Amino acid sequence: MRAVRVSAGESESVRQKLLSGSALDKTRKLVKKNGFIEIPVTGSFNSDEFTFVLQEKARYYSKEKTISSILNIPESEKKLLPRGWQILGEIIIVTLNENLEHRKKEIGEALLSLYPGCKTVLLDRGIRGRMREPDREIIAGSRTETIHKENGCFFKLDAMRVMFSQGNLAEKKRMSKLGKDETVVDMFAGIGYFSIPMAVHSKPRKIISIEINPVSFVYLKENITLNKAGNIIEPIAGDCARVTPCGIADRVIMGYLDGHEYLQQGISALSPGGTLHYHEAVPEAIEQRPVERILEVSKEHGRSAQIIGLHRIKKYAPGVWHVVVDARVD
């Protein structure tokens, strides 16, 4: 089994670098040997930057541990334990049954013992406000800023202050294949959820990324630099109702689930024949509502729209779906 050998003083910085590059083997433990630290790496990783060694006796984390087996709590409470959680970089985000809130610190420490590569656990209580800010509490660890890797892209964020949904990964991958040589307007860009993958993989001519949340905007700019996309993405801070450009885009992304009031700006940004990707949270009983809204707003402003796709992304709430409508607007 291969490992990178470094001095004790540089072990943490190297471990962080390997983790952000998905090269750290999280199934094995770091080993101290002859005054050096051996950091386990995946079999495919190679670099002239490091000294590699072969470990004859690799030390593994227990694969049999579960959150239930770690916690010494009554069986009645174990039945309420979460069955899943979200991992962003080095941050674990978990939702708890309200009857387990008094165990939150114990559960946080148990999760860290399951994932030694993680540093902090956040208790999630949902999203609040117009800017969709997460309502979270630190229940283990302290640092909440991290770098998350997804689809070959790096996203720096503070998980206490910025939301990041992994449930729409398929949609982000779909967008990353579109837009080559186009001018794209990404309304409600956040930290670059759609802009970054599109810039990295499909290389549009230009992406105008608009974000009103000042915290998200700071990370949007950092992620543009982190992913070397500054020659493609132009970040703009402001309200989409006021700063969205008109008549220049081959493609517009509207990734805000309550953005129907901004449809006029999204449609106006498109050149004739451009494509709109409009997101909405919609009850199953009226799933055609976003389609009807696009057709109506287009007509009101002297444009015609042709619906070319409707995609269910994920369940947003009981009986409610996150959908994306693709429309060609002339």
Place of tokens 């890797």: 149
The structure tokens listed for 90 are: 């080095």
Show the beta-strand stretches assigned E in the chain: 2-7, 31-33, 36-40, 51-54, 86-88, 91-94, 120-128, 133-140, 145-150, 153-158, 183-187, 206-211, 233-237, 249-254, 270-283, 305-317, 320-329
Residues in CB range of 262: below 8 A, 6 or more apart: 187, 240, 241, 244, 254, 256
CA distance 196 to 212: 17
How far is Cα 205 from Cα 310, in angstroms, rounded to an integer? Answer: 26
* Residue 44 marked ligand-binding: no
Taking the C-alpha atoms of residue 10 and residue 50, their distance in angstroms, rounded to an integer, is 12
Token reading at 239: 């309200």
Buried b (16+ CB within 10 A) or exposed e, 301-317: eebebebeeeeebeebe
Question: According to the annotation, is 172 in a ligand binding site?
Answer: yes
Contact 84, 44 (CB under 8 A): no
Known binding residue 211? Answer is yes
Burial class for 117, CB neighbours closer than 10 Å (0-12, 13-18, 19+): middle
CA atoms of 199 and 14, how far apart (whole Å): 28
DSSP code string of 182-216: -EEEEET-TTTTTHHHHHHHT--SEEEEEE--HHH
Q: Which residues pair with 61 in a beta bridge?
A: none
Residue list for the binding site for S-adenosyl-L-methionine: 165, 172, 211
Residue list for the binding site: 165, 172, 211
